[in-house]
Structure 1
Amino acid sequence: MTTTILIPARYASTRYPGKPLATLTGPDGAKTLIQRSWEAAMSVPEADNVFVATDDERIAEASRGFGAEVIMTDEACRNGTERCADALARTGMTPDIVVNLQGDAPLTPAWFLSDLIQAMKAEESLDAATPVLRCDPETLSMLIEDRDNGRVGGTTAVFDTDYRALYFSKEVIPFTGGKTFAEGEVPVFHHVGVYAYRTTALTRYIDWPEGRMEKLEGLEQLRFLENGARMKCVEVDARGRIFWELNNPEDIARIEQVLNRDGTL
């Protein structure tokens, strides 16, 4: 099976304009968010090719500057999944598996994507798959802190006994009522902002109207669930690393702390 990784990136983010070009300083120096995301994608052994998909010439120019291949997409794309579908349509590519590595997750280890790709290869009935990570007490605390302070932070996921996705939310679900949990026992799963799709599922996605829950939560993956698609949550192992996305300017310090403590991925 062929696998293409696409990194959708837009400049006009509502919460954080220009986010892909934000600079993160680690032990390897200062690099933009889009470059760190591209380097993470390039380290995935199962990837046959990697592209940055954007509608912005500033992002395209920066990406070409560090060696990335770029696909220019329609500025009307409302989310990363639509941008991935548009990139395929414009290039005529038909890989068996398309991986959407959101351009705001530079702490995504290569093995997260490898596990996701292997899950898609193992279950051909799946339309899509996405990684989830059991929260440790520190991450749960950060998620709750963001919500308490009115910030939209990470996304959480709930799934059935077969790991089929039931729902995703920017609220912290399930409700824990302020309970404390030991390491390895936190019942909240942090959704990792990566997706794998069949090309046929992407084609259907672009034809579906934006869903009611998708609009309320602002989460693109809910369109799959609202239309009965089979999406699997793949539990991944952080191997001692902290995973966090760049959702708000305040997250830069958090991510830089991890980069300088644990090194680059």
Structure 2
Amino acid sequence: MSTLVVIPARYASTRYPGKPLVALTGATGEAKSLIQRSWEAASQVAGVDRVVVATDDDRIRDAAEAFGAEVVMTSDTCRNGTERCAEALEVLGGDFDMVVNLQGDAPLTPHWFVEDLLTGLQGADWAGMATPVLRCDGRALNGFLEDRRAGRVGGTTAVFGEAGRALYFSKEVIPYTGKTFADDDATPVFHHVGVYAYRPDALKAYGSWEETQLEKLEGLEQLRFLAHGQPVLCVEVEAKGRQFWELNNPEDVPRIEAMMAEMGMA
């Protein structure tokens, strides 16, 4: 099975312009850009044939090429990372069995998240796309709730039914629990991890579907699959002691750096 990993990155983020080039300092004091740390995370995934950064911005291209990444230039009309991945696949010729979208704001993504995701999609022939979900402990859930109280958009949560078939994704915290959890408690809330694996036909079809109201309201590209009646597989992954957080807002930089220091990540 041939696998392509695409890291879509754009400079003109509404919430955090220039985010891919923001420096993150690791446990050793070395500062690396967000896009470099995301590329390094992607490069650790076993069984991957090619890793590329897909962007429409010369600044991101230059930074990525400087640390050794392969870059695919895509148009500035891509509305989200999935559309950018679809365009990158077209540019590269499309000769892959699976395409992974490892978004450029998730540098803490462990390699086994992606490996388990690919294994899950291989075993679910009914799904054209799969995405990982991570059961929140109390610490993570309380972080989500704190963000919402402060008016910030934090992580995304997911609910799913039998066989991991996705029901909905939201930037609100779902399902509602009404309970207080200690940091180490397991909760019924699942954090949607910002990674996707696609079968190439599903990825190519995505761009031909109309953008939907739910996708626009939530700002979540995967909702286009659900709104068009296309099943999405949620694959539960294990943290194995690793913390996970995405860089969505400037306030997330010290949070992620603290996690990297705690985990001893260089």
TM-score normalised by structure 2 residue count: 0.97
Q: Which runs of 5+ in 2 are unaligned?
A: none
> What residue identity is the alignment partner of 1:188?
V
Q: Which runs of 5+ in 1 are unaligned?
A: none
1:142 aligns with 143
Secondary structure in structure 1 of the residue aligned to 2:130: strand
What percent identity do the matched residue pairs reach?
62
Instruction: Report 1:49-128 matches (<5 A).
Output: 49-128=50-129
Instruction: Give CA-to-partner distance per residue, 1:37-78, whole Å, 9 cap, x none.
Output: 000000001211100000000000000000000000010101
1:2 aligns with 2
Distance 1:38 1:181 in 2: 34
Distance 1:181 1:264 in 2: 26
Deviation at 1:161, TM superposition (A): 2.2
8 A contact 1:99–1:197 mirrored in 2: yes
8 A contact 1:4–1:47 mirrored in 2: yes
Secondary structure in structure 2 of the residue aligned to 1:223: helix
Q: Does 1:21 align with 2:28?
A: no
Instruction: Give CA-to-partner distance per residue, 1:12-49, whole Å, 9 cap, x none.
Output: 00000000000000024100000000000000012111
Deviation at 1:92, TM superposition (A): 1.6
Count of matched residue pairs: 265
Secondary structure in structure 2 of the residue aligned to 1:186: strand
Distance 2:92 2:164 in 1: 33
8 A contact 2:80–2:221 mirrored in 1: yes
Secondary structure in structure 1 of the residue aligned to 2:186: coil
Change (3 A) 1:235 1:162: same
Distance 2:39 2:195 in 1: 13
> What residue identity is the alignment partner of 1:38?
W
Instruction: Give CA-to-partner distance per residue, 1:78-105, whole Å, 9 cap, x none.
Output: 1000000011122222311000000000
Secondary structure in structure 2 of the residue aligned to 1:246: coil
Secondary structure in structure 2 of the residue aligned to 1:187: strand
Distance 2:185 2:139 in 1: 12
Instruction: Give CA-to-partner distance per residue, 1:142-194, whole Å, 9 cap, x none.
Output: 00000000000000000002110000000000011243368453010000000
Instruction: Give CA-to-partner distance per residue, 1:86-137, whole Å, 9 cap, x none.
Output: 1112222231100000000000000000000111222233200000000000
Instruction: Report 1:85-234 matches (<5 A).
Output: 85-180=86-181, 183=184, 185-234=186-235
Secondary structure in structure 2 of the residue aligned to 1:67: coil
Change (3 A) 1:184 1:96: farther
Deviation at 1:195, TM superposition (A): 0.2
Secondary structure in structure 1 of the residue aligned to 2:215: helix
Secondary structure in structure 1 of the residue aligned to 2:235: strand
Secondary structure in structure 2 of the residue aligned to 1:162: helix
Change (3 A) 1:69 1:182: closer
Instruction: Report 1:230-249 matches (<5 A).
Output: 230-249=231-250
Distance 2:135 2:58 in 1: 37
Change (3 A) 1:85 1:137: same
Distance 1:259 1:24 in 2: 9
Distance 2:65 2:136 in 1: 36
> What residue identity is the alignment partner of 2:63?
A
Distance 1:51 1:151 in 2: 31
TM-score normalised by structure 1 residue count: 0.97
2:263 aligns with 262
Distance 1:158 1:87 in 2: 30
